[in-house]
């Protein structure tokens, strides 16, 4: 019998809705180099590396009656050229046009009857560059059997070598009878699990009803009322970061210099992670004020911040040598002093640091290939964890290598993540560092955040607020 989805993988499927497609995005920009780079070269490279990410050739098959967990099966009709696509943006091919392309691609839900990933080669960018826009469902990337495809495509040295294509023969999918018999055998061994699966089926029906309620009244107050009634009362007061999510996205990117953040951390005796949270917190504070929101001394926001930890319990430990868990962090947006905000965040995260569990940024940055896409996928999984508490915004920080990496012979120039929005959350923030740069990717509901560029500028300004006055 094929491998069944784990509880964590099933939970990520609940993130996937008509208006909230659960795809972790990566936008990576490359210099073409003297020999250039084309679609055929990309296809050859993926054919060579896909053997290392087996889930990328598998699809999810449900068990009739939801008597047991769905199973992973080889896609007998797997077609690489369906998943890898070629695109171009109008000239001049600037960063804004690339973001607009990513907005459209990442707003679309993927076909669950196929392996849950897509990769776009975007050509004709300015300065003789091209980009990859990758989208992968977080259920695919467990960090154990499968990392993100982008991680295995990139290497720390340019290369023109392509290994001979392996002979891959998909295993036949189980028949309906085999699925039912396997589920019944499992129910005898684990009757509690069968009850849980039936509960999940009811939850799926409930989720469908929510989607119908949203679709019936799309753009109408009645539809919002129906959807909210079907969801039930919210357990958290509404903030400008929470609410009903639409079906279109808006993306902005905040580029920062890694050395600037490190210098601020040294001046304030705080680590880089806390400095980043302080910069984002300061950005939120100013942005809310530009909206005319009331910000008092005790105003806070709650962030779900995935971190890589080493725990005594080895379950869930990934091939990256750690486990990614979500930690709630209070962002003190009511504190007017930038230095005081940073100190508060340092105290907030201190107990976790003292536990000895967190994996250092240096260790994560030294992982093979380009690990941030994998880390962001695992971070997104934490938003689906059954133990997850109410929060306002997901903030995932994934350090990358500080030396060049290559797609074949093409050098990676920059990369930023685009994390998916989950139900009720209008903004998600992903952070990736690479070669002395930190890229903060903001993904927001298009209608709720028509001022997303203002938030991006406020985050940039918040960094300046943390510098010593004589350095500004």
pLDDT digits (tens, 9 = 90+) for 66-85: 778 999 999 999 999 999 99
**Are 378 and 320 contained in the same domain?**
yes
**Are 210 and 288 contained in the same domain?**
no
**Are 261 and 363 contained in the same domain?**
yes
Residue 160 has pLDDT above 80, yes or no: yes
Q: In the prediction, which pLDDT does 180 show?
A: 80
Specify if 337 maps to a domain. Answer: yes
Q: Which residues lie across from 50 on neighbouring strands?
A: none
Specify if 123 maps to a domain. Answer: no
**Are 352 and 455 contained in the same domain?**
yes
**Are 299 and 400 contained in the same domain?**
yes
Element of type H or E holding 444: strand 437-445
Q: Which residues lie across from 399 on neighbouring strands?
A: 433
Q: In the prediction, which pLDDT does 245 show?
A: 97
**Are 225 and 281 contained in the same domain?**
no
Residue 390 has pLDDT above 80, yes or no: yes
**Are 218 and 319 contained in the same domain?**
no
Specify if 383 maps to a domain. Answer: yes
Confidence tier at 93 by pLDDT (50, 70, 90): very high
Q: In the prediction, which pLDDT does 164 show?
A: 76
Specify if 104 maps to a domain. Answer: no
Whether residue 27 contacts residue 102, with contact meaning beta carbons closer than 8 Å, is answered with yes
Average pLDDT over residues 131-138: 98
* Whole-number Å distance between alpha carbons of 270 and 232: 41
Q: What angle do CA 217, 221, 227 make, to 5 degrees?
A: 60
Q: In the prediction, which pLDDT does 179 show?
A: 80
Specify if 100 maps to a domain. Answer: no
**Are 302 and 195 contained in the same domain?**
no
Tally the domains of the chain: 2
**Are 199 and 284 contained in the same domain?**
no
Task: Find tokens 């009803």 and name the residue.
Answer: 209
Average pLDDT over residues 402-422: 97
**Are 217 and 336 contained in the same domain?**
no
Q: State how far the alpha carbon of 438 is from the alpha carbons of 258, 295, 394, in Å.
A: 6, 28, 17
Residue 211 has pLDDT above 90, yes or no: no
Q: In the prediction, which pLDDT does 86 show?
A: 97
Q: Which range of residues forms the domain containing residue 195?
A: 190-231
Per-residue pLDDT of 297-347, as tens digits, reads 999 999 999 987 654 454 444 455 556 778 899 999 999 999 999 999 999
Last residue of one domain, picked from the residues 200, 231, 262: 231
Specify if 452 maps to a domain. Answer: yes
**Are 214 and 264 contained in the same domain?**
no
Specify if 95 maps to a domain. Answer: no
Q: State how far the alpha carbon of 373 is from the alpha carbons of 148, 354, 364, 380, in Å.
A: 6, 27, 12, 11
């Amino acid at each position: 019998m094929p491998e069944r989805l784990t509880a964590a993988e099933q939970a990520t499927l609940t993130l996937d809705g008509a208006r909230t497609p659960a795809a972790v995005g990566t936008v990576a920009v490359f210099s073409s180099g003297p020999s250039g780079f084309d679609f055929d070269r990309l296809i050859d490279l993926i054919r060579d590396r896909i053997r290392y990410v087996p889930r990328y050739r598998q699809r999810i098959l449900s068990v009739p009656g939801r008597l047991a967990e769905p199973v992973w099966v080889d896609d007998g009709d797997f077609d690489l050229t369906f998943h890898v696509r070629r695109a171009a943006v109008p000239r001049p091919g600037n960063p804004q046009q690339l973001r607009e392309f990513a907005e459209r691609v990442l707003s679309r839900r993927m076909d669950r009857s196929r392996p849950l990933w897509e990769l776009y080669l975007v050509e004709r960018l300015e300065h003789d560059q091209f980009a990859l826009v990758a989208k992968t469902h977080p259920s695919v990337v467990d960090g154990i059997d499968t990392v993100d495809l982008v991680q295995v495509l990139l290497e720390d040295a340019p290369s023109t070598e392509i290994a001979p294509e392996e002979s891959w023969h998909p295993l036949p999918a189980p028949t309906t009878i085999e699925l039912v018999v396997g589920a019944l055998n499992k129910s005898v061994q684990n009757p509690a699990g069968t009850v849980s699966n039936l509960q999940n089926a009811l939850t799926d029906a409930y989720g469908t009803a929510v989607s119908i309620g949203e679709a019936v009244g799309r753009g109408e107050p009645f539809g919002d009322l129906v959807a909210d009634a079907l969801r039930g009362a919210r357990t958290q007061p509404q903030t400008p970061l929470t609410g009903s999510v639409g079906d279109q996205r808006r993306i902005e990117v905040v580029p920062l210099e890694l050395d600037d953040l490190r210098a601020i951390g040294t001046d304030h005796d705080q680590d880089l992670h806390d400095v980043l949270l302080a910069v984002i917190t300061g950005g939120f504070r100013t942005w809310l004020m530009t909206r005319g929101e009331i910000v008092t001394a005790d105003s806070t926001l709650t962030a779900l911040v995935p971190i890589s930890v080493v725990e005594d319990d080895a379950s869930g430990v990934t091939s990256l040598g750690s486990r990614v868990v979500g930690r709630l962090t209070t962002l003190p947006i009511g504190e007017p002093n930038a230095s005081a905000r940073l100190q508060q965040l340092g105290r907030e995260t201190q107990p976790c640091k003292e536990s000895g569990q967190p994996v250092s940024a240096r260790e994560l940055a030294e992982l093979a290939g380009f690990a941030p896409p994998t880390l962001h996928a695992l971070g997104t999984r934490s938003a689906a964890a059954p133990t997850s508490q109410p929060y306002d915004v997901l903030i995932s920080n994934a350090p990358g290598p500080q030396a060049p990496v290559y797609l074949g012979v093409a050098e990676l120039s920059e990369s930023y993540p685009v994390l998916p929005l989950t139900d009720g959350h209008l903004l998600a923030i992903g952070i990736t560092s690479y070669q002395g740069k930190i890229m903060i990717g903001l993904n927001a509901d298009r209608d709720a955040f028509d001022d997303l560029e203002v938030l991006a500028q406020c985050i940039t300004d918040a960094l300046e607020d943390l510098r010593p006055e004589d350095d500004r």
